[in-house]
């Protein structure tokens, strides 16, 4: 008897959940910043990315990932005229990324670890993840 009651209760919960589908998951954002590293500063930028930038940004609310990528070649189209690195920061939302900008840790992470090694101006593009695939194993 108890089993039937539990099964009816579970069926009721499942029916209620299907009647009110969950809200779509929020899409993460990516900030891509194109940088021109100062001559002779490349190794210092890489060292500071690991020693100063990453430990601080990992404390940011909503932080997912960060990458510093170096331009290799243009497969299609022409190469960027001046930018040789791209900093990619991934957050759960733009609102959480903006909170990171207000944190004291951001000043050290950005101004000391990154900005001090690049020539200005740099450009930044904000993207919202529209679709993604996970590797199959």
pLDDT at 136: 81
Residue 118 pLDDT > 90: yes
pLDDT in tens, 68-103: 999 999 999 998 889 999 999 999 999 999 999 999
Is 64 a member of any domain?
A: yes
Pairing of strands 29-37, 63-70: unpaired
Higher pLDDT among residues 105 and 4, named by residue:
105
CATH code, 55: 3.30.70.100
- In the three-class reduction of DSSP (H, G, I as helix; E, B as strand; rest coil), residue 43 is classed as helix
pLDDT of 6: 46
Per-residue pLDDT at 66 exceeds 80? yes
Domain for residue 9, yes or no? Answer: no
The answer to whether residue 21 is domain-embedded is: no
Nearest C-alpha neighbor of 60 from the set 108, 112, 101: 101
H or E stretch covering 135: none
- Note whether residue 72 is domain-resident: yes
Q: What is the span of the domain harbouring residue 96?
A: 29-128
In a domain, 12, yes or no: no
Cβ-based burial of 85 (10 A; exposed 0-12, middle 13-18, buried ≥19): buried
Q: Is there a domain that residue 10 lies in? A: no
Number of domains the chain is built from:
1
pLDDT in tens, 6-60: 445 545 555 545 555 444 557 899 999 999 999 999 999 999 999 999 999 999 9
């Amino acid at each position: 008897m108890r089993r039937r009651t539990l099964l009816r209760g579970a069926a009721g919960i499942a029916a209620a959940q299907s009647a009110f589908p969950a809200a779509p998951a929020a899409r993460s954002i990516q900030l891509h910043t194109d940088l021109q590293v100062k001559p002779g500063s490349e190794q210092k930028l890489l060292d500071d990315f690991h020693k100063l930038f990453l430990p601080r940004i990992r404390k940011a609310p909503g932080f997912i990932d960060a990458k510093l990528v170096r331009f290799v070649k243009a497969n299609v189209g022409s190469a960027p005229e001046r930018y040789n690195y791209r900093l990619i920061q991934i957050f759960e939302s733009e609102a959480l990324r903006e909170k990171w900008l207000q944190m004291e840790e951001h000043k050290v992470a950005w101004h000391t670890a990154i900005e001090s090694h690049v020539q200005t101006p740099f450009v930044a593009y904000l993207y919202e993840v529209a679709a993604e695939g996970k590797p199959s194993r």
